[in-house]
Amino acid sequence: MPARSGAQYIADLKKMKREIWIGGERVDDVTTHPATRRGVESYAHLYDMQYDPALRDVMTYPSPTTGDRVGISFLTPRTPTDLARRREMMRQWANYSGGMMGRTPDYVNTSFMAMAAASDYFAANDPRFGENVRNYYDYIREHDLCLTHTLINPQANRSKGVNEQADPYLPAGIVTTNSDGVVIRGCRMLATSAPLADEIMVFPSTVVKNENADKYAFAFSIATDTPGMKFICRESLDQGKSHFDHPLASRFEEMDAIVVFDDVTVPWERMFLFGDMERCNGCYGATDAVVHMMHQVCIKNIAKAEFLLGVILMMIETVAIEQFQHVQEKAAEVMTYLETMKACLRAAEADAHLDSWGVMTPARMPLDIARNMFPKMYPRIVEIIQLLGASGLMAIATEADFAGPIAADVSKYLQAANADGKERVRLYRLAWDIACSGFGGRQELYERYFFGDPIRMMSALYFGYDKEPLKERIRSFLHQEDASVAPTPVAAGG
Ligand SMILES: Cc1cc2nc3c(=O)[nH]c(=O)nc-3n(C[C@H](O)[C@H](O)[C@H](O)COP(=O)(O)OP(=O)(O)OC[C@H]3O[C@@H](n4cnc5c(N)ncnc54)[C@H](O)[C@@H]3O)c2cc1C
């Protein structure tokens, strides 16, 4: 089956009878429900881009099994050109939302692309699992499915291990196995975009570290309408307002949900790892899936930084604050962030190599740097929008004000040096939706946490960094007796 259009994506979502809960009510149809409808429409637009004649070759490639055109985020890169094609496709999707939709389907597609290429890793747990992961990758590619994923156990008690919580089935765990599959009970959090997704990938993060925690060690993927599965969503940030009033929330609400498994049977053919803690802990690194996911994230973050910088530059122009040095300095600070991210992406692609699975893989270190820097950069860029926007972020009359009896007042008093009242408010409402609204607050939290706890990510970077050549250089400097030059060490990092 070729890549889906937006209409096919929506039709498929409508067919699913899922347990999605929002505000105490079960939602029958996410494609029409006000909390999710416009997020679905935005995802549908992404699918439609695959059918835009101008983008067809950018977005799709001939399937290796059917020859039908399928999404490029599934393309297994074997050459630097393939990697560049993946980047360009992902850039198109990221630009559509200014990077505000973090979980577009390319994110999880990318991890299954890498895991299928590394199927021997799963086969070492059980030969069937290697085949399962390859078949599953073919299945989601040929049906162009949208996946959410969940990796983290409920917070409950972080001073205890996963197997020491108040209830053994607070975190999702294995209850039993039978000839049909594996029965799972308990909870996982969080699954961004769950109501918008056809399937859910339930994988370990790297936290199954305790002894006797085998029953929490598994990896599988199932349809979001699998019996027994419940998605409990947070309140929607889409309040049904116009694009003028809530420019981002009215378009890009992806939704987040916790996932409950009430004795869900996972068919054996959807199991990829089972009871093997070591393989669960090592899975993202050993398959290089994490590197390809970081590649997607870096592309998305560049799109987001560009979008925010554009807003900042427009704000500076609109109320004529360019002449102030600290304003220039703040905008330039954002420019340094953006250019740093771009340099990381470029370095990662320039130093790409064929990994042990035969996949052209970007260099890990520049992407690791990028993913560790962005959770600090993003809140700072948001702060800069607040610092430059000041009261302008609150003087944001609504679209209705511009159409009602006080239209003349708001048009006059909200005018700016370089925009009339309505155009100025249009821009500042966008800045508000980035920096002050509920949607904006969730974006900030998302950037801080979605790839993991920033503290533990930095710690992993510290331990993964090639430190020895640098220490050796200092050792030889300290013991240098004359003016001769210390030998240049092997370059660190890479
Ligand atoms: C908006 C949003 C969307 C998300 N979407 C998804 C998704 O789609 N799929 C998914 O799988 N996950 C998702 N996540 C979850 C994300 O992976 C986690 O937030 C992240 O891994 C941190 O885990 P936690 O939230 O359980 O925080 P915790 O691990 O509970 O951490 C809370 C605090 O305690 C500290 N802490 C706790 N334990 C330790 C420790 N052992 N060592 C040091 N410090 C510790 C942390 O540093 C932090 O300050 C999302 C998160 C957010 C905020």
Domain of 312 in residue numbering reads as: 288-464
Q: Which of 285, 300, 323 is the last residue of a domain?
A: 285
Question: Please, what sign has the CA dihedral across residues 119, 208, 372, 387?
Answer: positive
First to last CA, the chain: 40
In contact, 248 and 38? CB cutoff 8 Å = no
Residues enclosing ligand 1, CB less than 6 A?
A: 103, 149-152, 155, 158, 190-192, 256, 442, 445-446, 449-450, 452-453, 455-456
Q: Exposed, middle or buried by CB within 10 Å (0-12, 13-18, 19+), for 308?
A: buried
Mean pLDDT of the chain: 95
Radius of gyration of the chain (CA): 24
Q: DSSP readout, 83-123? A: HHHHHHHHHHHHHHTTT--TT-THHHHHHHHHHHHTHHHHH
pLDDT for 53-99, tens place per residue?
A: 999 999 999 999 999 999 999 999 999 999 999 999 999 999 999 99
Calculate how far, in angstroms, residue 257's C-alpha sits from the geometric centre of ligand 1. Answer: 14
- The answer on 217 and 320 residing in a single domain is no
Beta bridge partners of 233: 257
pLDDT value, residue 493: 47
pLDDT higher than 90, residue 492? no
Question: What is the tens place of the pLDDT at every residue in 316-331?
Answer: 999 999 999 999 999 9
Helices (H), 70-219: 80-96, 106-117, 119-123, 127-143
337 in the same domain as 273 = no
Average the pLDDT over each of 201-210, 253-262, 385-394 and give the range with the smallest value.
201-210
Residue 494 scores a pLDDT above 50:
no
Atom of ligand 1 nearest to the CA of 194: 8
- Are residues 353 and 260 part of one domain? no
pLDDT band at 489 (very low <50, low <70, confident <90, very high): low
**419 strand-pairing partners:** 416
- How many structural domains is the chain composed of? 2
Residue 415 inside a domain? The answer is yes
Mean pLDDT for 371-380 is 98
The reply to whether 476 falls in a domain is no
**The model's pTM:** 0.96
Amino acid at 227: P
Share of the chain above pLDDT 70, in %: 96
Q: Ligand 1 pocket check: which of 151, 190, 258 to mutate, most ligand atoms within 8 Å of Cβ?
A: 190
Judged against a pLDDT cut of 60, whether residue 173 lies above it is answered with yes
- Same domain? 278 vs 304: no
266, part of any domain: yes
Whether 248 and 331 share a structural domain: no
Q: Do residues 304 and 333 share a domain?
A: yes
pLDDT (tens digit per residue) in 41-57: 999 999 999 999 999 99
Nearest alpha-carbon partner for 424 in 433, 412, 413, 415: 415
Asked whether residue 482 is domain-assigned, the answer is no
Q: Judge contact between 389 and 425, C-beta under 8 A.
A: no
* The predicted structure's pLDDT at residue 482: 74
CATH number for the domain spanning 302: value is 1.20.140.10
**pLDDT surpassing 80 at residue 389:** yes
- Do residues 121 and 257 both lie within one domain? yes
Q: What is the atom index within ligand 1 of the atom nearest the CA of 192?
A: 8
State residue 121's pLDDT score: 98
Residue 271, phi then psi, degrees to nearest 5:
-95, 135
Above 80 in pLDDT, residue 226? yes
In the prediction, which pLDDT does 186 show? 97
**Same-domain status, 355 and 277:** no
Same domain for 218 and 119? yes
Whether 279 and 292 share a structural domain:
no
Tell me, in angstroms, the distance from the centre of ligand 1 to residue 456's CA: 10
Inter-residue contact 84 to 349 (CB < 8 Å): yes
Is pLDDT of 212 > 90?
no
pLDDT digits (tens, 9 = 90+) for 426-472: 999 999 999 999 999 999 999 999 999 999 999 999 999 999 999 99
Helices (DSSP H) in 405-467: which residue ranges?
407-413, 421-435, 438-449, 454-464
**Nearest residue to 245 (alpha-carbon basis) of 422, 399, 70:** 399
Percentage, residues of the chain above pLDDT 90 = 93
- From CA 476, how far away is CA 21, in angstroms rounded? 63
